[in-house]
C-alpha cells in the first residue's frame, strides 16, 4: 500500500514513526517536505537562540528515513493533487500515485492586515529560517516589538531577550496576556513578573500601521499613540496551510484548514489531514499534543483496515484537552480544563501572592466533588495532580484548597520506610511513575491490585523490577485508609506466599498441578506458576524440570539459562568464591570459541557466556560439566554467588582465609531456591574488599571470628546489610545462616529480597536477631534440619537435564524442525565479539 | 505465495500439520516452523484445548511467545511473553495488560488421529 505524506513537521514525522513501529514493512511511504531540513522540534524553537545547536532540535537524523525505507523529498513541496488519478505532483516535478494521502502541511504565521507589514525589519516567527533571518537582523537592532501576547508571542519575546535586544515590547490586542489560557488576575501576575524581567507589555493595543520608509522605524496604534522600534516580530497566531485544497476541491473549514471527521478523513475518503492543517469540528488545534493524538488515530485505523481480521473498532479523535503547562521566560504557567468557567454551578478557589508573583485558581463543581478547571501562574508543581483530577473526574478531597497550597506539614506515620520517600520519588523508572502517582492510583482511582495499578499508571510494565515496591506501596496506602488487605498471590490462589508455603508442606504437594487442584482454581498464570514452582523447589528440592514442572517455571528456569535480547541465552557456570584454575579458564575460553559466545566477567566474580542458541545449551553444558563445572543458577531465584577477597593466604592484611570460607558457604547453599535471588560475600578483614555488606548475607573476618551481616541489597534502592551477630566461629555462622535463610524462604512475599523483607518486619533487626540467634520462635532446630535436607539433596540441574532425553528434547527451537535454529537470530560484530543485531529491523510479519 | 508441505485444504482454511500430539508440551508452548513464519502452539492440558498464535511478541519484537507461560484471566486463556510479561488473549489476540500494545494474530487448531493441525486463511489470487 502506497502512502504519501505531505509535510515533514512534527506531526507528519510522528505519523511516520508510529506507522513504522506498528508495521515496519507494511507500507511504502513517501514524504514531501517544504523545508530543507528533516522534521525538527518546533516547540523548543526559542532554545535555538539560547544556544541549542540545530542538530539537537532535529527529531531524527536523515538516515532514519532510509533505514526505515521511507523516501524523503526535502525542499520539495507538493504543488497539486489529482484526486481522480490519485496522484500528486511536487514543485520539482516529481509525480507520484498514492493509495492514501496524508496532509500534514501544518500552519503558517498569521499576519494581520496592517499597513506596511512588508517593510524591511518585519519578521514572522515560525521556522528555523525565520529565526536565522531574525538573528542576522537583530545585530543592529536595539528596540524590538513582538506582535502577539499569546503563547507564541511570549516565546518570541523570550527569543528577543536571548538575542540581546536591549528593549523588547509585547503588543497584545486583547485586554490581557495569553487570553486563551489566563484570566485577568492570572495575566496581571504574569505581566508584573515579565515587566520585572525588563519586558514592556502593552495590552488593549490595536496596531494600525508599521511606520518607516523602507525600513521599520515604529508602530502606530489605533488610539494614535506611537512606539519607536528597530524591528517587529509577528507572532499573532497561526493559519492552516490548506492551499492545496483550492485546486482539487477539498472542503475547508470556516477558519481554514482541511475539514476532517473523527477518523481524520477529509471530504475525499483517500485523503486524511492531521495536525495544524486539519479543521476538526471547526477547530484548529495549534498544539503538538493533539496533533500527535491525530497521528495515533490515523495510524491505528490504517493498520486496522489493512489487517482485515482485526475485530476491534476504529479509533476516533473526539477533540482534545487544551490544557497546557509551560515555562515562559522562567515563569511556570499552566491552564487546564475550563479555566474561565463561572456561574452557579461552580465554586472558585483563588490564591494570590503578589510578593512572589503566584496566582492559582481552581474551578470546582458546586457539590465540591469535581475539579472543572484552573489556572496556575508562578508555581505549577501540582499541575499534573490537578490535571489528573480534572481529566479523570476524580473525587476531590474534603479540603481541595490544600491541592494548591504548599504541601508542608503533612501528617507523618511510621511504617515500612516507604512513607519516608518523597512524593516525587521515582518508583518505576521505565515509565517515569512516581510514588505520588501510585499512591493516588490506589487512594483516588481505587486500584486495589498490582494489575489495576499497572493499567492505571503503566508503572511496572517495563522491566518489572519495581513491582514488589508497588505492591508494598499499595498495601501501605490501603492500610492507611483502614482497608483490610488479603495479600494474595493472584486470582488463582487466595493465599499469600507464606500461607501457600505452609499449605504445600502440610498437604505434601509435589507438583504445580497438584497444588492448583488442591488449593487453587483456573489455569494458573505467569504470576502464580513461578511462585508455586519456587515454593516446591524450596521445600522438596526436586529437579525443577521433572514431573511437568518445566512449563510452570519462569522462562529462564524452564531452559536453565538467561534469555537475552534477540532470544538467545547466556550461560554462567558456577565458580565458587571466584576461585578458578587456569585449566578451567581455558575450557571456558574454548567453549566460548566453539559456540561463538560473547564473554563478560560478571559482578559476582564469574564469567557469563552470551548468545547461545537454545539447541546449543545442552551441548555447551555437556562440555562444561565434563570439565568439572556445574550450574551457576544465574537463571534462578536462587543462591547466585558468594564473592570473596583473596584472604589471608595471599593478602598481608587478611585475618582469615575468606576464599575457603566463601567456597564452603557457596557449596552449601548452591541451588537453594528462594523468593528472590540470594547473594553473599566473605571478606577477610575490615577493609571489606568483597563488599559483603551489600549482600543478602555477608561475612566479614574479625580478630576473634566472623561478623555476620544480613539483609543488604544493591539494586535500585541500595541498603547496607546490618549486623546480626559478631565474633562467631565458622560453625555458628553457618547455623545462623541456615536459620536466617529458612526464615526468609518460609515467610517472604514473592520477588521480595531480604532488605525489603526486613524493612517490613515488625521489630526489625532486633526481632530477627531474637528469632535467629536466641531462637525465640523455637524453630532453630527444625530450620537447621530442613536446610540440611536441602543441602544433601542438591544435584546439578544441568547434569540431570543433559542425561534425560525427554528434557533434552525441549531445547529445540522448532518442534517440527528440531535440527534448525531460529533463523531470525542475528548477530553483528562489536569490539571483536558478537552482539545481537538490532531487532527493530527484524521483519515482523509477511 | 506458496504453501509449505503437509498442508491440506478444508473449510476455506489451509490446515498445516504441525506435529504429533506427543511432541507438544503439556501446559505450555512449542514453536512451529510454517514456511518462513514461526507459529507458537499451546496445549492447555487441564482444558484439553489447543491454541496457536504468532511467535513474535509485538511489544519488543522478540521471537519468544512459545517460550512464555500460559494461563488464564477469568476464563480467558492467555500467553505471557517471557521478556516483559505482556499477556495476550489466545482467543482474539488482544493484549490484556497494556492497551498501547498491538494485538497478536491467532490461528485455529484441530487435532485428528494424534496429529495437530494449524489453520491458515487461504489467500486468493496467489500463484505457486
Q: What is the pLDDT of residues A231-250, one digit of tens each?
A: 999 998 889 999 999 889 99
Q: For B31, which of A516, A815, A844 is closest by C-beta distance?
A: A815
Q: Tell me whether B9 touches chain A (CB under 8 Å).
A: no
Q: Distances from the Cα of A836 to the Cαs of A598, B36, B82, in angstroms?
A: 10, 20, 18
**Closest CA of chain A from B125, distance in Å:** 16
Cβ contact A523–B77 (<8 Å): yes
* Contact list, B126 vs chain A (CB under 8 Å): none
Is residue A121 left, alpha or beta, with left meaning phi > 0 and alpha meaning psi from -120 to 50? left
Contact between B9 and B15 under an 8 Å Cβ cutoff? The reply is yes
Test the B interface: residue of A815, A817, A822 with most B CBs within 10 Å: A815
Three-state secondary structure call for residue A75:
coil
- In this prediction, residue B2 carries a pLDDT of 53
A839 and B62 within 8 Å at the Cβ level: the answer is yes
B73-90: string of b/e by CB count within 10 Å (b at 16+)? Answer: beeebbbbbbbbbbbbbb
Q: How far is B102 from chain A (nearest CA, A)?
A: 7
**CA-based nearest residue in chain B for residue A525:** B71
Asked if B28's CB is within 8 angstroms of A491's CB, the reply is: no
CA distance B103 to chain A (A): 9
What ipTM did this prediction achieve?
Answer: 0.90
Q: What angle do CA A95, A22, A563 make, to 5 degrees?
A: 140
Give the Cβ contact number of residue A5 at 10 Å.
28
CA dihedral A515, A517, A519, A523 (to 10 degrees): 90
| C-alpha to C-alpha distance for A618 and A607, rounded to whole angstroms | 18
Query: What span, in angstroms and rounded, lies between the C-alpha atoms of B117 and B123?
Result: 18
How much is the pLDDT for A342? Answer: 87
Q: H or E stretch including A456?
A: helix A450-457
Q: Which residue of B has its CA nearest to A522?
A: B72
Nearest to B67 by CA among A517, A671, A613: A613
Q: Which residues of A touch B88 (CB under 8 A)?
A: none
| pLDDT under 50: residue ranges of chain A | 407-416, 839, 841-846
Provide the 8-state DSSP code for A537. Answer: H
The verdict on B67 touching A (C-beta cutoff 8 Å) is: yes
| Residue B122 near chain A (CB below 8 Å) | no
Closest-CA distance, A543 to chain B, in angstroms, reads 17
Residue A419 has what pLDDT? 66
| B4 pLDDT more than 70 | no
Distance, in Å, from the CA atom of A576 to the CA atom of A562, rounded to the nearest integer, reads: 19
Q: Report the distance separating Cα A781 and Cα A178, nearest Å.
A: 75
The per-residue pLDDT for A408 is: 34
Judge: B87–A815 Cβ closer than 8 Å, yes or no.
Answer: no
CB contact under 8 A, A845 and B68: no
The torsion angle over the Cα atoms of residues A670, A676, A677 and A683, rounded to 10 degrees, is -90
CA-CA-CA-CA torsion sign (A224, A228, A230, A236): negative
Question: Could A824 and B92 be called an inter-chain contact, meaning their C-beta atoms sit closer than 8 Å?
Answer: no
In this complex, which of A548, A816, A846 lies closest to B26 when CB atoms are compared? Answer: A548
Q: Return the axis-axis angle of helices A617-626 and A582-594, rounded to nearest 10°.
A: 160
CB contact B128 to A (< 8 Å): no
Give the helix/strand (H/E) hosting A158.
Answer: helix A151-162
Is residue A805 less than 8 Å (CB to CB) from chain B?
A: no
Which one, of B76, B120, B83, B22, lies nearest residue A309 by Cα?
Answer: B120
What integer best gives the mean pLDDT of chain A? 89
Amino acid at each position: 500500500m502506497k502512502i504519501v505524506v505531505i509535510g515533514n513537521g512534527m506531526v507528519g514525522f510522528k505519523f511516520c514513526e508510529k506507522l513504522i513501529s506498528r508495521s515496519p514493512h507494511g507500507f511504502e511511504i513517501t514524504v514531501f517536505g517544504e523545508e530543507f531540513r528533516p522534521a525538527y522540534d518546533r516547540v523548543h524553537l526559542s532554545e535555538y537562540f539560547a544556544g541549542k545547536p540545530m542538530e539537537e532540535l532535529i527529531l531524527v537524523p536523515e538516515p532514519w528515513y532510509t533505514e526505515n525505507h521511507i523516501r524523503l523529498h526535502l525542499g520539495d513541496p507538493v504543488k497539486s493533487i489529482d484526486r481522480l488519478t490519485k496522484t500528486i505532483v511536487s514543485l520539482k516535478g516529481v509525480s507520484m500515485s498514492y493509495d492514501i494521502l496524508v496532509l500534514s502541511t501544518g500552519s503558517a504565521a498569521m499576519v494581520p492586515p496592517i499597513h506596511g507589514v512588508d517593510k524591511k525589519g518585519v519578521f514572522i516567527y515560525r521556522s528555523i529560517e525565520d529565526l536565522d533571518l531574525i538573528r542576522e537582523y537583530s545585530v543592529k537592532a536595539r528596540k524590538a516589538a513582538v506582535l502577539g501576547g499569546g503563547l507564541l508571542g511570549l516565546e518570541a519575546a523570550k527569543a528577543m531577550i536571548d538575542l540581546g535586544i536591549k528593549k523588547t515590547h509585547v503588543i497584545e490586542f486583547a485586554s490581557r496576556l495569553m487570553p486563551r489560557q489566563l484570566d485577568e488576575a492570572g495575566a496581571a501576575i504574569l505581566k508584573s513578573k515579565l515587566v520585572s524581567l525588563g519586558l514592556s507589555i502593552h495590552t488593549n493595543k490595536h496596531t494600525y500601521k508599521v511606520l518607516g520608509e523602507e525600513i521599520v522605524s515604529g508602530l502606530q496604534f489605533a488610539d494614535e499613540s506611537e512606539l519607536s522600534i528597530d524591528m517587529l516580530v509577528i507572532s499573532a497566531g497561526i493559519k492552516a496551510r490548506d492551499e492545496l485544497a483550492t485546486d482539487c476541491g477539498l472542503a475547508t473549514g470556516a477558519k481554514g484548514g482541511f475539514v476532517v471527521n473523527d477518523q481524520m478523513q477529509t471530504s475525499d475518503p483517500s485523503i486524511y489531514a492531521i495536525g495544524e492543517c486539519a479543521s476538526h469540528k471547526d477547530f484548529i488545534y495549534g498544539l503538538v499534543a493533539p496533533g500527535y493524538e491525530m497521528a495515533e488515530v490515523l495510524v491505528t485505523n490504517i493498520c486496522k483496515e489493512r489487517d482485515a481480521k482485526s475485530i476491534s473498532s476504529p479509533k476516533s479523535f473526539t477533540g482534545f484537552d487544551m490544557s497546557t503547562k509551560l515555562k515562559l521566560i522562567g515563569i511556570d504557567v499552566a491552564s487546564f480544563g475550563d479555566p474561565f468557567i463561572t456561574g452557579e454551578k461552580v465554586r472558585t478557589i483563588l490564591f494570590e501572592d503578589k510578593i512572589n508573583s503566584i496566582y492559582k485558581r481552581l474551578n470546582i463543581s458546586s457539590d465540591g466533588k469535581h475539579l472543572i478547571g484552573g489556572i496556575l501562574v508562578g508555581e505549577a508543581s501540582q499541575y499534573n495532580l490537578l490535571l489528573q483530577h480534572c481529566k479523570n473526574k476524580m473525587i476531590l478531597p474534603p479540603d481541595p484548597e490544600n491541592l494548591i497550597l504548599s504541601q508542608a506539614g503533612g501528617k507523618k506515620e511510621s511504617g515500612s520506610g516507604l512513607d519516608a520517600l518523597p512524593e516525587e520519588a521515582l518508583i518505576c523508572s521505565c515509565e517515569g511513575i512516581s510514588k505520588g502517582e501510585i499512591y493516588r492510583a490506589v487512594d483516588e482511582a481505587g486500584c486495589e491490585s498490582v494489575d489495576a495499578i499497572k493499567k492505571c499508571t503503566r508503572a511496572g510494565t517495563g522491566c518489572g523490577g519495581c513491582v514488589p515496591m508497588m505492591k508494598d506501596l499499595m498495601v501501605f496506602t490501603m492500610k492507611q485508609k483502614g482497608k483490610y488487605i488479603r495479600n494474595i498471590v493472584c486470582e488463582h490462589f487466595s493465599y499469600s506466599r507464606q500461607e501457600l508455603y505452609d499449605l504445600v508442606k502440610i498437604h505434601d504437594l509435589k507438583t504445580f498441578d497438584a497444588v492448583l487442584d488442591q488449593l487453587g482454581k483456573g489455569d494458573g498464570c505467569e504470576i502464580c506458576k513461578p511462585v508455586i514452582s519456587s515454593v516446591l523447589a524450596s521445600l522438596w528440592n526436586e529437579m525443577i524440570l521433572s514431573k511437568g514442572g518445566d512449563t510452570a517455571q519462569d522462562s529462564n528456569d524452564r531452559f536453565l539459562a538467561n534469555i537475552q535480547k534477540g532470544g538467545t541465552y547466556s550461560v554462567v557456570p558456577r565458580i565458587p568464591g571466584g576461585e578458578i584454575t587456569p585449566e578451567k579458564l581455558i575450557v571456558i575460553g574454548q567453549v566460548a570459541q566453539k559456540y561463538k559466545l560473547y564473554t563478560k566477567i560478571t559482578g559476582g566474580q564469574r564469567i557469563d557466556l552470551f548468545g547461545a542458541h537454545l539447541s546449543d545449551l545442552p551441548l555447551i553444558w555437556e562440555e562444561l560439566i565434563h570439565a568439572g563445572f556445574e550450574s551457576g543458577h544465574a537463571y534462578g531465584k536462587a543462591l547466585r554467588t558468594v564473592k570473596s577477597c583473596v584472604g589471608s593466604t595471599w593478602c598481608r592484611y587478611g585475618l582469615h582465609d575468606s576464599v575457603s570460607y566463601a567456597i564452603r558457604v557457596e557449596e552449601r547453599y548452591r541451588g537453594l531456591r528462594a523468593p528472590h535471588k540470594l547473594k553473599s560475600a566473605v571478606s577477610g578483614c575490615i577493609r571489606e574488599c568483597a563488599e559483603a555488606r551489600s549482600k543478602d548475607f555477608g561475612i566479614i573476618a574479625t580478630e576473634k571470628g566472623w561478623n555476620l551481616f544480613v539483609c543488604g541489597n544493591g539494586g535500585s534502592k541500595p541498603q547496607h546489610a546490618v549486623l546480626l551477630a559478631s565474633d562467631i566461629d565458622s560453625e555458628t555462622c553457618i547455623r545462623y545462616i541456615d536459620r536466617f535463610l529458612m526464615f526468609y524462604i518460609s515467610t517472604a512475599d514473592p520477588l521480595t529480597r531480604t532488605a525489603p523483607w526486613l524493612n517490613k518486619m515488625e521489630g526489625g533487626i532486633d526481632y530477627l536477631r531474637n528469632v535467629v540467634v536466641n531462637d525465640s520462635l523455637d524453630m532453630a532446630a527444625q530450620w537447621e534440619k530442613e536446610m540440611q535436607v536441602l543441602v544433601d539433596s542438591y544435584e546439578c540441574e544441568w547434569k540431570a537435564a543433559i542425561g534425560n532425553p525427554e528434557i533434552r528434547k525441549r531445547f529445540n527451537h522448532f518442534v517440527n524442525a528440531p535440527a534448525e535454529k531460529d533463523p531470525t537470530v542475528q548477530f553483528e560484530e562489536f569490539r571483536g565479539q558478537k552482539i545481537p543485531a538490532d531487532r527493530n529491523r527484524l521483519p515482523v510479519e509477511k | 505465495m506458496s504453501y509449505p508441505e503437509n498442508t491440506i485444504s478444508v473449510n476455506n482454511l489451509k490446515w498445516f500439520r504441525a506435529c504429533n500430539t506427543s511432541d507438544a508440551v503439556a501446559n505450555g508452548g512449542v514453536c512451529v516452523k510454517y514456511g518462513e513464519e514461526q507459529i507458537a502452539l499451546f496445549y492447555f492440558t487441564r482444558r484439553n484445548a489447543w491454541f496457536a498464535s504468532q511467535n513474535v511478541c509485538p511489544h519488543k519484537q522478540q521471537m519468544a511467545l512459545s517460550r512464555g507461560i500460559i494461563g488464564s484471566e477469568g476464563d480467558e486463556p492467555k500467553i505471557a511473553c517471557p521478556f516483559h510479561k505482556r499477556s495476550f488473549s489466545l482467543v482474539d489476540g488482544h493484549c490484556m495488560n497494556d492497551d498501547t500494545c498491538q494485538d497478536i494474530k491467532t490461528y485455529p487448531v484441530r487435532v485428528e488421529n494424534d496429529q495437530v493441525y494449524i489453520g491458515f486463511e487461504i489467500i486468493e489470487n496467489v500463484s505457486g
